Copies of this chain bind each other. A is one copy, B any other.
Amino acid sequence: MKFSEGIEWSIHCVAVLAGIPSGATLSNASLAEYHGVSESYLVKHLKALVKAGILESVPGPRGGFRIARLPAEITLLQILEAIEGREPMFQCEEIRGRFPGCPQQSFSKPCSIHAAMLKAELEWRKSLQGTTIQDINAQVKSSPERQQADEIWMQKHLRLPVGQAAVKS
């Protein structure tokens, strides 16, 4: 079982938007170019992130996407749930009591398989909940050449409010 690419794209987009100057935005087309991914697919995910209150969409010619809250307040779990929903990965169909002759109310406890699968998912969710976009960006160590190339690309693509210079916040 694999997560959709949308998860990876979405986390990277939020991480990039967390690193641009306050108030600035990047368009859907720019975010797609930066990551080398499909613009039409990406926009669906960006809209889901807006709906979840993780990103803001700023309309107009200087508009685009920016983060809607502080990087320390955005967890990987929130991004994942914005894209994939909150339903558990393991969904119990209660197949314990289906054989012919099986009485109703057969068990006094919930299915132990269901419980064990949910417990494992909880561990996974706890780990994702404990990691914020601030944590993610703090761990990035890019080369000076990369930083320079990044700045050149950003100068071309960042959309800034009128009168604001592209100085990293």
Give residues in A with beta carbon < 8 Å to B.
1-5, 7-9, 11-12, 15, 33-37, 76, 84, 87, 89-93, 95-103, 105-109, 112-113, 115-117, 119-121, 123-128, 131, 135-137, 139-143, 145-146, 149-150, 152-153
List the B side residues contacting A150 at CB < 8 Å: 99, 102
Q: Is the beta-carbon distance between B95 and A12 smaller than 8 angstroms?
A: yes
**Chain B residues near A109 (CB-CB < 8 A):** 139-141
Question: Of B12, B87, B100, B141, which is within 8 A of A153 by CB?
Answer: B100
Could you tell me the distance between the alpha carbons of A126 and B93 in the complex, rounded to whole angstroms? 24
Report whether A34 and B98 are in contact in the complex, using a CB–CB cutoff of 8 Å. Answer: yes
The listed residue (B93, B100, B106, B142) touching A146 by CB distance below 8 A is B106
Q: Is the CB of B112 within 8 A of A120?
A: no
Q: Are B2 and A89 in contact (CB under 8 A)?
A: yes
A90 x B3 contact (CB < 8 A)? yes
Residues of B within 8 A of A152 (CB): 101
- In Å, the complex CA distance between A134 and B149 comes to 57
